[in-house]
Amino acid sequence: MVLSDAMRTLIQRWREDPNATYRSWFLWEERVKNFRSIRRGIQQVVADIEAGTFGNAYRGSSLETVVHSIAEQRQIFKGADHAFLWKPKLRIPDIYENPDNQRAFGRLLDTCVCCNAETQVLAAIRQLDAKGIKGLGPAVANLLYFLHPTIVPPFNTAIVNGYNALTGAKVKLGRWDEFLAMRKGILALNAEYRDLLSNDLGAVGSLLFDVGSGRYAAPPREDDATARAAWEADLAKVREESAKATKAAAAEREGDRTHTEIQGWLRDLGRALDYDVWIASNDRGRPYNGGKLGEGCLERLPGAIEKAPGADAVRLIDVLWLDRGKAHVAAAFEVEHSTSIYSGIVRMLDLALGGDAHALEGLFLVAPNGREEEVRTQLGRPAFSRVADLKVRYLPYGELESHRESIARFGSGMKAIHAISRTLV
């Protein structure tokens, strides 16, 4: 078996593993939904730096908000915020106490938000590298990945270790020139096995992560039958371990089911109250009560909403109630079962900034009873002041479950929904 054949075997086995990052993260629907919210968060960082309001601390900044959202992107990005935490003894990363360095960081982010060309992204990285800012290394690539997933691969220690193991390279952490060299190698690897990977470099990045974190062993680079047999035994062992992890995967699927169930409750309640209902465009086909979640709901948003700024994000809001036959959103609901509350808030912000926002009767974060404090903490961030002005409300699962049937039978308008929810700010 030649190395390329072994690599194909590895990638195919990895793609089939329900607990590997390909299925648990790369194919995860929330990953795609979070791209826009993270982009908006990066734009807020740029705006704060340009306005001189970013401050001199990571905690409480718009940067902490967006990096925290990335760090919640399943295991592959766990710990993404470590590189940005202020380390006073080392005085790194030096973007909190040095205004010039902070502005250079802002220019990198601004360029990458505004451009689409690979040459522009790489030039911006090299300009930042030339500044020699202490402690501000390739971990920034995790921000850039969510702006340009086909240009910049994600980055962390496990990904570097996986790349070195698969290619025989000796890339070191912490240097931009090393990262850019690794990026070239990643692009070549991705091109060679493109039919098994993706144009989105998150796929090959997650493969490298699983190899570098020890879930999968790299195939031996030498033509040694004994080494090959040992490697194939390791693959078989991973498959056995994956089967044992079925219980955890089932619990995760149960979380998805609960999310869909809550959307279904809101769908049925909205229709009972004589509203037109919109279900998030990427959730419409989910199975629910023997049918599809989007059945009986709007197939398209009214033209005025479709043409408004931020319409792409508004289409992804979990449930919208619209006045019957009108282009007016009466209420918006984001169901936050276990994922980052941040992304749902940002989608509501896109709706809130629309021209019809003044007429909204309610923005609701629908979450388990025990998440109220987490919701309050997130809404307390300066980046969300516009949403807070609109009196976003917290609707606990328990209240919705207990009262939805009686509201459907005897209620009208938004009064009863307001009664079982709480204003957060």
The pLDDT score that the predictor gives to residue 1 is 42
Q: Determine how many CB atoms are found less than 10 A away from the CB of residue 80.
A: 21
Helix (H, G, I), strand (E, B) or coil at 352: helix
Q: Peptide bond before 309: cis, by omega within 30 degrees of 0? A: no
The pLDDT score that the predictor gives to residue 387 is 61
The pLDDT score that the predictor gives to residue 376 is 80
Burial 108-144 (b: 16+ CB within 10 A, else e): bbbbbbebeeeeebeebbeebbebebebbbbbbbbbb
The pLDDT score that the predictor gives to residue 244 is 58
Q: Which residue has the tokens 């169901």?
A: 335
Q: What is the pLDDT along the chain (425 residues), one digit of tens a residue?
A: 456 788 999 999 999 998 899 998 999 877 887 888 899 899 999 999 999 999 898 988 999 989 988 888 778 998 888 999 989 888 899 999 999 999 999 999 999 999 999 999 999 999 999 999 999 999 999 999 999 999 999 999 999 999 999 998 999 999 999 999 999 999 999 999 999 999 999 999 999 999 999 999 898 876 666 666 665 665 566 555 555 555 555 555 545 558 899 999 999 999 999 999 999 998 999 999 989 999 999 999 998 888 887 788 888 899 999 999 888 889 999 998 765 677 777 787 777 666 554 456 788 989 888 778 877 877 777 666 666 666 788 899 989 999 999 999 988 889 999 999 988 76
Q: What's the order of all strands across the beta sheet hosting 329-335?
A: 275-279, 319-323, 329-335, 362-367, 393-396, 422-423
- Helical axes 62-71 vs 29-51, angle rounded to 10°: 160
Are 175 and 138 contacting, i.e. CB atoms less than 8 angstroms apart?
A: yes
The pLDDT score that the predictor gives to residue 358 is 46
Q: Which structure tokens are listed for 39?
A: 């982009």
- Helical axes 202-212 vs 157-167, angle rounded to 10°: 80
The alpha-helical segments, DSSP class H, found in 213-319 are: 225-244, 246-272, 303-306, 311-314
**The pTM of the whole model exceeds 0.85:** no
CA 12 centroid distance within chain = 25
In angstroms, rounded to a whole number, what is the distance separating the alpha carbons of residues 28 and 79? Answer: 19
